[in-house]
Chains A and B, each alone.
Chain A
């Protein structure tokens, strides 16, 4: 039996080499997908992905794995829909079942202004070819019979944005699949290897040093450390417009299948879906203060549960099994920070993923790899450059990303 399931190791233990072409700091979905596409698409295989804990020990192993493309800005919709398309092919690409279930995604509105926001998103989405439309309580009720669409709640459901291709994926599998892909193409993953210094000479990155005293040469170093990205950027004196906030989620005991849509309510600060195993996954907004502590709080649990019961009063007797938190790198406009930094060669940013970055792993990995290989910034990531804050060209996705990660 054992032989049937464990034929191979997904990644090996390596000794660090003295030199790599590219060192990626952070082995979440972003760091790993960069290394994967560097090898796969550009034949750059002398690459190491370093992580201070285990693979996926950051947010890539803690998120609620919702994938969608129905954002608000033109830049955002282009970017996230490229990622959704890559995710649709990713199980085949990695030859690893990622259990991607495109069950459909509903963003509820309970106020007139929220309904207006949905209209705007639907129109931007449709114009750019994303399947997305506003639907009304009768259709919502048909799609989600357990949802309370009556006028009993304090804020009755008025409308929803229905995004049929949205869904959920097995996040751990995505991390493992990319890690295995990196190693199969000749790259290396190094868990439990913390970067503590980045060396710079004449405005050019030259390498990194680890907590075990290793000195590694590399002319290209990528910061893919989400909630910790400020601490890594500080090593080279690059300021970031990032504040680290915890984000929490929880999961209940398994129930019989009754819910096959992702249901999000920005007005009620809550989202709910049911996994293939029957558990309900529920989440919320970021904690109301910055912190590097991943612990969870009773206040957030109470808020999630109370609001989930407004939507699904039938869940009153269901028990919560687990609650956890991750550290989110929040930016002022709820968009990421991607690409090179003015005045410092060889330092590449893939950060600012806040509460919404899991769905973007494939596109940013592919495009950052292209940037490193060709030294040209691909159009689809150009709007997300760090200098947009100086140029006053923010890409505001707050309306589409604050609760529905």
Chain B
């Protein structure tokens, strides 16, 4: 289902103007264990619910920003 996203620079735009950057998660420190790096690289929360995620305004101002979306119905709260 399509939806609108709000770019901090350009305002509300169709989701197809953006590139999805995946769920936001914290990068491990350089000297973290390989287990932590494995989790960072591959494992995902993939929540059926509200998540914070990265978006890139591909067909607009080229800003990367964070948005909060409910993955069950694609409603965006920020």
Contact = CB atoms under 8 A, between A and B. Distances in A.
Interface of A: 228, 230-231, 239-244, 288-293, 295-299, 332, 389-390
A391 to B, nearest CB: 9
Interface in B56-74: 71-74
A299 B44 contact: no
A295 B44 contact: no
B46 interface: yes
A293 B72 contact: yes
B10 interface: no
A297 B16 CA distance: 10
A291 B71 contact: yes
Interface of chain A, helix or strand or loop or mixed? loop
A293 B43 contact: no
Given A230-B44, A244-B46, A288-B19, 15 more contacts: A230-B46, A230-B47, A240-B43, A241-B43, A242-B44, A244-B71, A289-B20, A290-B20, A290-B22, A290-B53, A291-B74, A293-B1, A298-B2, A332-B42, A389-B43
Most buried by B among A228, A291, A390: A291
A342 to B, nearest CB: 12
Nearest to B49: A292
Contact of A293 (B19, B22, B53, B74): B74
A62 B78 CA distance: 32
A390 B46 contact: no
23 contacts: A228-B48, A230-B45, A230-B47, A231-B48, A239-B43, A240-B46, A241-B43, A243-B23, A243-B44, A243-B46, A244-B71, A289-B15, A289-B20, A290-B46, A293-B1, A293-B73, A295-B1, A296-B1, A297-B1, A297-B2, A299-B2, A332-B42, A389-B42
Contacts of A228: 48
Nearest to B46: A230
A199 to B, nearest CB: 21
B61 to A, nearest CB: 19
Contacts of B1: 291, 293, 295-297
Nearest to B2: A297
A313 B71 CA distance: 37
The 8 closest A-B pairs by CB, nearest first: A295-B1, A289-B20, A241-B42, A230-B46, A239-B43, A297-B2, A389-B42, A292-B48
B35 A390 contact: yes
Contacts of A288: 16, 19-20
B26 interface: no
Contacts of B39: 239
Contacts of B15: 289
Contacts of A230: 44-48
A228 B71 CA distance: 12
A290 B48 contact: no
Contacts of A241: 42-44
B17 to A, nearest CB: 11
B62 to A, nearest CB: 17
A234 B55 CA distance: 26
B38 A389 contact: yes
Contacts of B22: 243, 290
Nearest to A241: B42
Nearest to A388: B42
Nearest to B55: A289
Nearest to A394: B42
B65 to A, nearest CB: 14
Contacts of B53: 290
Interface string B1-44: 11000000000000110011011000000000001001100111
Contacts of A295: 1
A389 B43 CA distance: 9
Nearest to A303: B16
B45 to A, nearest CB: 8
A296 B47 CA distance: 20
Nearest to A229: B46
- Residue among B15, B35, B46, B73 having the largest count of chain A Cβ atoms under 10 Å: B46
A298 B44 CA distance: 29
